[in-house]
Amino acid sequence: MTKVHPNAAAAATCSDHEKTSSIDGEVPVVLTVWKKSLLLNCNGFTVFDCQGNLVFRVDNYSARSKDEILLMDAAGTPLLTIRRKRLGLADKWLVFEGESGVKPRYSAKRQVNLLKAKCLAQVMSLSPPSSSGGESKYEIGGSYTQRRCEVYDEKRRRVAEIKKKEAAVGGVAFGADVFRLIVHPDMDSALAMAFIILLDQMFGSSSS
């Protein structure tokens, strides 16, 4: 049976593009995202690095938690909270630091403009503009159902990608529940994982 993540022996044979970021931050971080909770009878995500180490986890403990999802690190420490505000076609999502829910960092909305069909969603920073430039704004394009997406920042730089994952040996393809998240040096990995949660809320089985 094909393994979702490598064991200690297999980690040594990881290809260069699947190794984690170098100290100087020039190499993209490639993570394996498994749409499966570590807890039984729960929905969520489990995220590994190339060596098979747990990086992030998402666990929905009850049906009512679908409108509030918590992204945690490997130790279970809350990193980001994603909350959905149901407004019909204009639903929006807010991303908070940790689990305080006091002041949102980002606001996300699904693209409904038919003239921008290639754009799936937009994410806008709600923090004050940085000293180096304007506000942070991200645009996500592609197809989440096909696990083929790209994330661009306000300068149209590609900062993250979602791609299908294939087994290292034999080229056996995984199903849609296992895919790769490629995070470029200018992007925070936790925020990139939050984008996957947002896309799954907007276009996945949890969107209903």
Provide the CATH number for the domain around residue 200: 2.40.160.200
Q: Does residue 2 lie in a domain region?
A: no
Distances (CA, A) of 139 to 3, 54, 109: 32, 28, 10
Nearest to 119 by CA among 143, 95, 136: 143
Name the one residue in this structure whose structure tokens are 């038919």.
114
- Structurally, the chain folds into a number of domains equal to 1
For residue 207, name the pLDDT band (cuts at 50, 70, 90).
Answer: low
Q: Does residue 171 lie in a domain region?
A: yes
Average pLDDT of every residue of the chain: 81
Instruction: Please give the pLDDT value at position 35.
Output: 93
Q: Does residue 1 lie in a domain region?
A: no
67 vs 147 pLDDT, higher one: 147
Structural domain for 121, as ranges? 8-207
Instruction: Please give the pLDDT value at position 86.
Output: 82
Q: Does residue 41 lie in a domain region?
A: yes
In sequence order, the β-bridge partners of residue 123 are 108, 138
- Asked if 117 and 124 touch (Cβ cutoff 8 Å), the reply is no
For residue 162, name the pLDDT band (cuts at 50, 70, 90).
Answer: very high
Q: Does residue 3 lie in a domain region?
A: no
Q: Does residue 39 lie in a domain region?
A: yes
Calpha distance 50→30 (Å, rounded): 7
pLDDT digits (tens, 9 = 90+) for 21-59: 433 457 899 999 999 988 877 789 999 998 999 999 998
Calpha distance 57→130 (Å, rounded): 30
129 vs 9 pLDDT, higher one: 129
Instruction: Please give the pLDDT value at position 49.
Output: 95
For residue 115, name the pLDDT band (cuts at 50, 70, 90).
Answer: low
